[in-house]
Structure 1
Amino acid sequence: MSDIEERCADLPRRRHARRTGSIASAALAGIAGTCIAVAPGHATPVTPIAIVDETTDVAAFYTAPEDRVAGPHGSVIQLRPIDGDPGIPGARNYLVLYRSVDMQGNSTAVSGTVAVPEGTPPPGGWPLISWAHGTTGVDDSCAPSHDTSDAFPAHDYTSLVRKVQAQWISAGYAVAQTDYQGLGTPGPHGYLIGTAEQRAVTDMARAARQIEPEIGTRWVAMGHSQGGQAAVFADAQAQQWAPELQLLGAVALAPASHQGIGIQASQLATAVGASTTLGPLTGGATAFLPLIIRGAQTVADIDPARFLTPDAAAMVTLADVGCIAQLRSPQQWGGLTASEVFAPDGDIHALTRVLNENDPSTLTFAQPLLVLQGRADATVPAAATDVMVVRQRAAGQPVQYRGYPGVDHRGVLEASYADALSWVDGRFGR
């Protein structure tokens, strides 16, 4: 074995030692570019990994040189250790840039984080949860891995998610979280485009194992809201996308569904003057509309001017510079009613076609799905999730469903944790 091969083979131990201070970051940086990482299930080297020192400008981390983006999906481009946010307490944390495939078939760089429990892994390696986050926005500044302080626009949400993820770490699970394609990294973000989301989630699981070989091959997809939809798509598509890993099932918390029907209903209500009655049915989704449009535009030619009022069409670009908290403000989309958004006679067919194609209700999957829903949710209405589950069960899909009276959209994260843990432990035979 050559000196380089010895250093590469020893890299996982060196990463652990770096955490305790015995190996300096400079030593890791010295290996960068020389190690050839071998993805699990591959007999030959697939791609070099760059290990980025903490002193490197973090903003530059998210833009990889073009000649390094091409490569097997799920392979790591570069990584850096994380101290503090957005890391999870009680774990070794990494900021990761890895490869996935966009909806046009092109290799694309995706960012995310990986957290691995301290200590000795169980036989078979750490069980893995690949977490799909809820809506933060489509602008790069909204990526959860950018959350390093309470100044982050979605810190109130992402910090809540990390508290729940810390419980999973304490329970002995590794947690990997993608930012999704085009969120934090160059290119558009395919918001609510299920296949693009599941590729990011599944390739994150692959990348996590390449970083930490102590992570096992068995995993569960888990997500909330936008990520709940992504988790259902992962349940349906991930095993084929990453056959060397064993998907045991998926957990979908308040999954987004029936977006196309909701928009059709909003436009119809505008036409008949009844838009104020739709809140309980649509989840008050006005602020999400520019994100939905931007997501649909990644896969189809969508012209907002064909179905929005002139004032609303001019405001779509606000999604390109702000996150969901800004869009919800009364000065932006949060101050608009459906009657001020939709042109009564507008043509929304192109948009609703994309949304209907990405509705998780019609997917088929072999691995079980656990759906968890707050009954007082005003963002993803319980009625919409009820219908999704009814449709899935009618088609013979293996779905379990649990509701939580009085629990809202974010509250379901904590309220459902014990049930989710019991179910996931059961999947792993723990």
Structure 2
Amino acid sequence: MSDIQEGCGDLPQRRHARRRTGLIMSAVLAGIAGTCVAVAPGQATPVANISMSEETTDVAAFYAAPADRLVGAPGSVIQLRPIDGDPGVEGARNYLVLYRSVDMRGNTVAVSGTLAVPDGDAPPGGWPLISWAHGTTGVDDSCAPSHDTSADFPAHDYTSLVRKVQAQWIAAGYAVAQTDYQGLGTPGPHGYLIGTAEQRAVTDMARAAREVDPEIGTRWVAVGHSQGGQAAVFTDAQAQQWAPELQLLGAVALAPASHQGIGLQASQMATNTGAAGALGPLTGGGTAFLPLIIRGAQTVADVDPARFLTPRAAAMVSLADTGCIAQLRDSQEWGGIPPGEVFSPGGDMSTLTRVLNENDPSTLTFTQPLLVLQGRADTTIPALATDAMVMRQRAAGRPVQYRAYPGVDHRGVLEASYADALSWVNGRFGR
């Protein structure tokens, strides 16, 4: 391991170097000061071909893998670098990872994410793994959680809160991997709320985590919040078939997005009857998520927003391409459009609602246990929607447990439910 010691100096993982094998064997010092990037043994195009004199001095270049570097199996690692500070998780060795996944057109794509491994020695069987699916930050590359290196990050108030909860998982002895999702941080469009694309990113991140650190075990659980809650349910339904070499023990979905198609249809109907403002509490409130939903649907279908939005709203869809959710909520952007001025009366929204209904987690078939956690005071993902999702899943015989928290809002459920989530996950791992 002399290469990594010489190339990476006093990195946090140095004291573990002698007991680790696999990916971190051919590290080189790239153009970013203190950055160590590596590739899996036997990969055709080693990262050593990236010299310090090239554009790698730009951190963004890490996320843009050349086409000839994309060849490889889903979950295999393209390159990585250690993380010092944000977006790392306290109490762990942290890495920024670029890995391979497969998009909805069957193309191999690069996906970014982060990995946090507890300090110390792994337990027998390896570190139990949580593959974390994050909530909505946006669809522009700048909104990827792995870009959160300071309080200036547009979604820092959310991502920093998530990391505090993840630090509790680290302290409890779990490795935590978190994908940015396909097309978020990396080239290509982000399939926002496209469940299968999200599942592949979450599952392939679990694969990549084991390649980065072979002391991570083969057993894992998916945990997700909001957008990630929907992704967690899709992972529960599809991951075992996607990655049969790993053992998925179940999934935890916090405030999972569901019934989006029904919600938009209700909003459009309310516009037609002049009651749009009254439906806010029932349809998730706010309009800032709509351009993200449209951009996500456009990755799998020909969705023309001009067919169902007012001219003002249609002209503002492109704001999602340059701003994150906080900017979209601003009163000068989507946050300033009155609910009754979003949908055009009688507009044709059938293609969009079809995509959303096809990606509703309520209809999925799964056999692995699912834990659903929901705040009753949530106005982003209404508790009524989650109630309906769970009722439908239970009616179909799915193994679902459901816990709700009175007075807890959308973000508050992260901390409020942690003890219940930990107890449930511990039980899945037999801890």
Structure 2 residue aligned with 1:419: 420
Residues 291 and 319 of structure 1 are in contact (CA less than 8 Å); yes or no, is this contact kept in structure 2?
A: yes
Structure 1 residue aligned with 2:47: 50
Structure 1 residue aligned with 2:20: none
Structure 2 residue aligned with 1:78: 79
1:311 deviation in Å? 0.6
Structure 2 residue 173 is the aligned partner of structure 1 residue 182: no
1:18 deviation in Å? 3.6
Structure 2 residue aligned with 1:101: 102
Structure 1 residue aligned with 2:140: 139
Residues 28 and 53 of structure 1 are in contact (CA less than 8 Å); yes or no, is this contact kept in structure 2?
A: no
Identity %: 78
Secondary structure class of the residue paired with 2:288: helix
Structure 2 residue 374 is the aligned partner of structure 1 residue 377: no
TM-score for the superposition, normalised by structure 1: 0.92
Residues 136 and 142 of structure 1 are in contact (CA less than 8 Å); yes or no, is this contact kept in structure 2?
A: yes
Amino acid in structure 1 at the alignment position of 2:28: A
Residues 155 and 324 of structure 2 are in contact (CA less than 8 Å); yes or no, is this contact kept in structure 1?
A: yes
Structure 2 residue 16 is the aligned partner of structure 1 residue 19: no
Question: 1:34–1:90: structure 2 CA closer, same or farther, 3 Å change rule?
Answer: closer
1:19 deviation in Å? 2.0
Amino acid in structure 1 at the alignment position of 2:301: A
Question: 1:21–1:36: structure 2 CA closer, same or farther, 3 Å change rule?
Answer: closer
Structure 2 residue aligned with 1:243: 244
1:17 deviation in Å? 7.2
Which 5+ residue runs of structure 2 have no aligned equivalent?
18-23, 31-35
Amino acid in structure 1 at the alignment position of 2:27: L
Residues 100 and 204 of structure 2 are in contact (CA less than 8 Å); yes or no, is this contact kept in structure 1?
A: yes
Question: 1:287–1:120: structure 2 CA closer, same or farther, 3 Å change rule?
Answer: same
Structure 2 residue 67 is the aligned partner of structure 1 residue 66: yes
Structure 2 residue aligned with 1:390: 391
- CA distance in 2: counterparts of 1:304 and 1:191, whole angstroms: 16
1:338 deviation in Å? 2.3
Residues 76 and 96 of structure 1 are in contact (CA less than 8 Å); yes or no, is this contact kept in structure 2?
A: yes
- CA distance in 2: counterparts of 1:259 and 1:326, whole angstroms: 22
Residues 267-416 of structure 1: matches in 2 within 5 Å? 267-416=268-417
Secondary structure class of the residue paired with 1:278: helix
1:33 deviation in Å? 9.2
- CA distance in 2: counterparts of 1:182 and 1:264, whole angstroms: 27
Question: 1:300–1:20: structure 2 CA closer, same or farther, 3 Å change rule?
Answer: closer
- CA distance in 1: counterparts of 2:245 and 2:8, whole angstroms: 25
Residues 36 and 47 of structure 1 are in contact (CA less than 8 Å); yes or no, is this contact kept in structure 2?
A: no
Question: Runs in 1 of length 4+ with deviation above 4 angstroms?
Answer: 14-17, 20-23, 30-36, 45-49, 51-56
Question: 1:383–1:47: structure 2 CA closer, same or farther, 3 Å change rule?
Answer: farther
- CA distance in 1: counterparts of 2:61 and 2:9, whole angstroms: 25
Residues 305 and 313 of structure 1 are in contact (CA less than 8 Å); yes or no, is this contact kept in structure 2?
A: yes
Secondary structure class of the residue paired with 1:209: helix
- CA distance in 2: counterparts of 1:15 and 1:124, whole angstroms: 28
1:56 deviation in Å? 4.3
- CA distance in 2: counterparts of 1:34 and 1:378, whole angstroms: 43
1:71 deviation in Å? 1.3
Question: 1:30–1:315: structure 2 CA closer, same or farther, 3 Å change rule?
Answer: closer
Structure 1 residue aligned with 2:215: 214
- CA distance in 1: counterparts of 2:25 and 2:236, whole angstroms: 40
Structure 2 residue aligned with 1:42: none
- CA distance in 1: counterparts of 2:156 and 2:77, whole angstroms: 27
Residues 307 and 347 of structure 1 are in contact (CA less than 8 Å); yes or no, is this contact kept in structure 2?
A: yes
1:357 deviation in Å? 0.1
- CA distance in 1: counterparts of 2:144 and 2:249, whole angstroms: 27
- CA distance in 1: counterparts of 2:270 and 2:44, whole angstroms: 53
1:359 deviation in Å? 0.1
Residues 229 and 252 of structure 1 are in contact (CA less than 8 Å); yes or no, is this contact kept in structure 2?
A: yes
Amino acid in structure 1 at the alignment position of 2:285: G
Q: Deviations over 1:64-110 (max 9, x none)?
A: 11100121110000000000000001101000000000000000000
RMSD, aligned CA: 2.5
Question: 1:56–1:123: structure 2 CA closer, same or farther, 3 Å change rule?
Answer: farther
Secondary structure class of the residue paired with 1:414: helix
Q: How many residues align?
A: 415
- CA distance in 1: counterparts of 2:222 and 2:58, whole angstroms: 31
Structure 2 residue aligned with 1:41: none
- CA distance in 2: counterparts of 1:388 and 1:228, whole angstroms: 12
Which 5+ residue runs of structure 1 have no aligned equivalent?
1-6, 38-44
Question: 1:71–1:28: structure 2 CA closer, same or farther, 3 Å change rule?
Answer: closer
